[in-house]
A and B are shown apart, each in its own frame.
Chain A
Amino acid sequence: MSALGTLVTERSVIVCCGSGGVGKTTVSATFALAAARAGRRACVVTVDPARRLADSLGVESLPNTPTEVEGDWPGHLHALMLDSKGTFDDLIHTYARTPEQAEGIMANRLYQNLVGALSGTQEYMAMEKLHELVESGAFDLVVVDTPPTRNALDLLDAPRRLTRFLENRLFRALLLPTRMSLRAVGLATQALLRTLSKVAGAEIVQDAVAFFQAFEGMEEGFRVRAGAVRRLLADPLTAYVVVTTARPDAVAEASFFAEKLTERHVAPAALVVNRIHPHFGEPGPDRDGEGDRADRFSGPLGALEANLADLNEVARSEDGSYAALAAQVAPAVVGRIPLFGADVHDLDGLKRTADVLFA
């Protein structure tokens, strides 16, 4: 069993992080597939709204609940696509004291926008979904494909951010029972609200006040839940995997991410370098020397020699670009996925990727 293999057989949560466009979704699905092949019940959660994962897994669609993907493996493979708003709706329903309160929140014009506006909401909802799946006990391993975060810390900060949001002085003041009205709100807060009305417009502030008041009594439930999510993210059975390509900008992002994870005491357990240009043939000393280039490239095989030299040069330069990152994340395991001749877009492609990664 390879070191990466141990990860999918022994851990209960794998969080795949990295910047956008590095193939996180494919790598996440590959990890879940490897777990199913090892006989485990695995579920991959994707935030990628493209139909790509559904297509590549050969299922019609991936609603906000796990869909089983049939295949020739001893375990079970499930997948679901995160619906941020749906997940937030479910949370509201869970913690609202009455159905009327939940309806009141959802009817507020600001609620519709909050999912997108509250920074890190999508990240938080991904973590919330993760918690729900782990708690359900239906899976041995849950793999989360994280949103392409603007800031590497959003993901880990998400639960904290929501709690802080709920604990803010102004927010708490606004949560006072509606009947007591603004008279009960401290003078300082009233002054603040007046100032805000002046800047933002009175109606916008009134809407915001109404919105916060609709949350009355729900903050404790939210806080407890955020604490549980935070503990899950710090659990020793949770592994963080940094995914990157060998492109210098992606490597720089991955390095930043690895650094932040380490600062948070959740150092990456593995680094996966995706779409690496393959080396072709054995680069003999005579093949790489500059001296005979002109001769070699002018012969009948010239164009082919030049192409081979170009591709191998790209591969060499890529090897160099992530070498420092691999050293930085040591002792994390480094997995390498070559750039295939054709793009990975179906289950066979995922299987081929898993064959290489977990060889």
Chain B
Amino acid sequence: MDVGTFCAQSHVLIVAGKGGVGKTTMTAALARMASRAGYSVLIVELEGKSGLTGAFGLEHDLGYEEVEFHASAPGQGCVRARRITPDDALVEYLEDHGLRRISKRLVNSGVVEVVSSAIPGIRDVLVLGKIKQLERDGVADLIVVDAPATGHAITFLTSASGLVSAARGGPLRTQAADVVELLGDPARCRVILVTLPEEMPVSETIESAFTLEDKGGVQLGPVIVNATDSLPEGLELSAEEAGAGLDVDPAHLRALEEARRFRLERHSISAAQIGRLAQDLPLPQLLVPKIDSAGIGPAETDTLASALAVAVGALVPEAPAP
């Protein structure tokens, strides 16, 4: 599948995954990949301190106002980013409902905290409602959302359907119903799960995927398997075999052999987990190789965007729905 087709499939991509799997890095790489294919992208960050700005070479944290990471250029779409917090979304919601004067007072007095704690999922629905509004307004060709870590992401994405069944009427229910509609329509929104080729992340991804589909009516896109280990050639022979007849320090030969075995073992774990994921979760996979780097900056984001584009290129287009 070519990258353009992939980017045009849904207006919103929600990137979710267990903490530490590189969710934010993949958010940045997806955005960069789409921008290089000519699409304008808005990244939405929901939690602070995600490292998103660093992935684009900026230092300060994101705020409610949009920041431009990449200007549009011939053949390239721009990449912009902003943060949406529940408090911001709530204030905006109240203002949209004619309560501009008291919105600050409601938030500051703690009343909102009590009510939002008692009414399940209200905060999540407000945030998703804001994303829905951005999608409706067509603020960018593609909106990429850096979702909370799974666990919370499941609550986050299933809150709307929970609220729809808990509330019998009212404007909030309408808002929740709109969100459910957004999440259920693959042409508008899909969830991209990110995982690592390790036992625990793979198990959690399989479990989350089924929970999200069953409870949230969420549409899942391909799963990104981050930091896959490609096995270099030439590790078939043991150090002793390869070094036969050579004058090599025995201690060094031992180190070479230990390193060889370690690499082979880690690789076989990684391959086995990718296989298990493919078997237990019938979703296409995007394999992104591990990059050796002390941190993620613009250069690494570009490298990963290219790797992601290669993986997207290897996707087999789905047969059109009957």
Most buried by A among B114, B169, B171, B261: B114
Whether A113 contacts B121 in the complex (CB less than 8 A), given A249-B24, A307-B232, comes out as yes
B171 to A: closest C-beta gap in Å: 6
Q: Report A143-200 residues with CB < 8 Å from chain B CB.
A: 147-148, 150, 164-165, 168-171, 192, 195-196, 198-200
A218 within 8 A of B: no
Closest chain B residue to A310 by CB distance? B292
Q: Across the interface, which residues of B come within 8 angstroms of A205, CB to CB? A: 115
Whether A343 contacts B20 in the complex (CB less than 8 A), given A201-B170, A317-B292, comes out as no
Q: Is the CB of A300 within 8 A of B243?
A: yes
A289 within 8 A of B: no
A276 to B: closest C-beta gap in Å: 13
Q: Report B5-20 residues with CB < 8 Å from chain A CB.
A: 18-20
B168 within 8 A of A: yes
Task: Please list the 4 inter-chain residue pairs (A to B) with the smallest Cβ-Cβ separation, ordered nearest first.
Answer: A201-B170, A281-B255, A303-B234, A20-B19
Q: Across the interface, which residues of A come within 8 angstroms of B201, CB to CB? A: 21
Q: Across the interface, which residues of B come within 8 angstroms of A314, CB to CB? A: 292
Q: Report B240-267 residues with CB < 8 Å from chain A CB.
A: 242-243, 246, 248, 251-252, 254-263, 265-266
Q: Across the interface, which residues of A come within 8 angstroms of B198, CB to CB? A: 343
Selected interface stretch from A31-39, A115-123, A134-142: A115-123
Q: Across the interface, which residues of A come within 8 angstroms of B107, CB to CB? A: none
Complex: A110 Cα to B118 Cα, angstroms: 7
Closest chain A residue to B158 by CB distance? A116
A302 within 8 A of B: yes
The A-B contact count (CB < 8 A) is 216
Complex: A73 Cα to B51 Cα, angstroms: 44
B212 within 8 A of A: no
Q: Is the CB of B166 within 8 A of A19?
A: no
A193 to B: closest C-beta gap in Å: 10
Q: Is the CB of A282 within 8 A of B251?
A: yes
Q: Is the CB of A208 within 8 A of B292?
A: no
Q: Is the CB of B118 within 8 A of A199?
A: no
Q: Across the interface, which residues of A come within 8 angstroms of B152, CB to CB? A: 150
A293 within 8 A of B: no
Whether A308 contacts B259 in the complex (CB less than 8 A), given A148-B19, A249-B24, comes out as yes
Whether A195 contacts B102 in the complex (CB less than 8 A), given A169-B109, A204-B119, A311-B262, comes out as yes
Q: Is the CB of B167 within 8 A of A201?
A: yes
Q: Across the interface, which residues of B come within 8 angstroms of A341, CB to CB? A: 261-262, 265-266
Closest chain A residue to B90 by CB distance? A199
Whether A307 contacts B259 in the complex (CB less than 8 A), given A21-B20, A199-B97, A249-B24, comes out as yes
Q: Is the CB of A303 within 8 A of B172?
A: no
Closest chain A residue to B253 by CB distance? A301
Digitize B211-241: 1 where CB-to-A-CB distance is under 8 Å, 0 elsewhere.
0000000000000000000001111000100
Whether A301 contacts B258 in the complex (CB less than 8 A), given A19-B20, A110-B118, A250-B20, comes out as no
Q: Is the CB of B239 within 8 A of A304?
A: yes
Task: Name the prevailing secondary structure of the A interface residues.
Answer: helix
Whether A117 contacts B115 in the complex (CB less than 8 A), given A282-B255, A304-B234, comes out as no
Q: Is the CB of A22 within 8 A of B20?
A: yes
A236 within 8 A of B: no
Digitize B190-213: 1 where CB-to-A-CB distance is under 8 Å, 0 elsewhere.
000000101111011001000000
Q: Is the CB of B149 within 8 A of A203?
A: no
Whether A302 contacts B234 in the complex (CB less than 8 A), given A171-B114, A280-B259, A343-B198, comes out as yes
Closest chain B residue to A21 by CB distance? B20
B311 within 8 A of A: no
A211 within 8 A of B: yes
Most buried by B among A52, A116, A321: A116
Complex: A281 Cα to B255 Cα, angstroms: 5
Complex: A170 Cα to B115 Cα, angstroms: 9
Partner of A165, one of B114, B234, B257: B114
Q: Across the interface, which residues of B come within 8 angstroms of A305, CB to CB? A: 256
B320 within 8 A of A: no
Partner of B246, one of A119, A202, A301: A301
Whether A345 contacts B169 in the complex (CB less than 8 A), given A200-B122, A281-B251, comes out as no
